Amino acid sequence: MATYSQYLPDARRIRSFFLRLPLATRGLLLVMIVFYIAHSRMQGALDLWGALIPKEINIKSLYRLNTFPLIHKSFFHLLLNLFTLLPLLERFESEHGTITTFILFTGPFGLIPGLMYTFLERFIFRLNTGIVGSSIWVFLLLAYESMKIYKSNPEFVISGFGIPTWVTPIFALLLVWFLVPGTSLLGHLCGAAVGYLWGLGWIRFLAPPDKILRWVEGKLNLLGRLPHYVSVDQKTYGRYGVLPSTAGSNGGPVGSTQRLGP
């Protein structure tokens, strides 16, 4: 007879997952938790300071384009976003390395969707809805993953109808918007758009060249000094860099503040 405990998450697997998180993913997780603690203590002041509010964006407040994904409205908001973000972010870092992940998620992956949202919200829709939350990164990464799947499996079939695999993040986006009050459809669309551009390879120039990354890693011995660091060479030689090998057989990713996500 089935017991209630067998339906609960395995604590050992959860602990193992967190213990193997790579460095940049750990860093972003820690910053989000610190921001949430500050948010709960400051009673909304953090939102006014760091939320992406279109009419507040100017030269002096461009920092908002990088801070808004780190702020969450409630513990539930933070928990659900982390639940969906961490596996995707961990996979992205394992594929692209720690430095590239850190640069992209503290720079272009906040700036580009943030600027897209600001332009559309302020100049096209003439609104001023502020947004916060890391789900913009969730849909960015989902869109990127869908493009990877599309290359090997272009469509899936439901009741005889072929549906392109790259549209699945759009279905998820619309479902979240319909089921969860207060979510930003436009914000999620901007995040997904950047994910599609990255998946198509059109904005890969935003990542630093591998040659420079290898020089920095070798000069500073980052792989040896930093626990959980993912080397750029993981893309060729395995997740954590080049491993020693022996001879053997040959072989061959101020308005009203609206949260992003659940």
Question: Which residue in this structure is represented by tokens 């849909």?
Answer: 139
The answer to whether the beta carbons of residues 69 and 137 sit under 8 Å apart is yes
Cα 214 to Cα 12, 97, 100, 106: the distances in Å are 35, 11, 12, 20
Please tell me the distance from the alpha carbon of residue 131 to that of residue 71, in angstroms, as a whole number.
9
CA atoms within 13 A of residue 250's CA, in its CB half-sphere = 0
What's 60's DSSP letter? G
Select which of 94, 134, 188, 231 is catalytic.
188
Select which of 39, 94, 96, 135 is catalytic.
135
With left for phi above 0 and alpha for psi between -120 and 50, is residue 238 left, alpha or beta? left
Please tell me the distance from the alpha carbon of residue 101 to that of residue 94, in angstroms, as a whole number.
9
* Among candidate residues 71, 73, 55, the one with its CA nearest the CA of residue 110: 71
Burial group, residue 38, by CB count within 10 angstroms (0-12, 13-18, 19+): middle
Catalytic, 135? Answer yes
* Distinct helix (H) and strand (E) counts, the chain: 13, 4
Please tell me the distance from the alpha carbon of residue 170 to that of residue 143, in angstroms, as a whole number.
8
* Among candidate residues 199, 249, 197, 242, the one with its CA nearest the CA of residue 97: 242
Catalytic, 188? Answer yes
Residues acting as catalytic residues:
135, 188
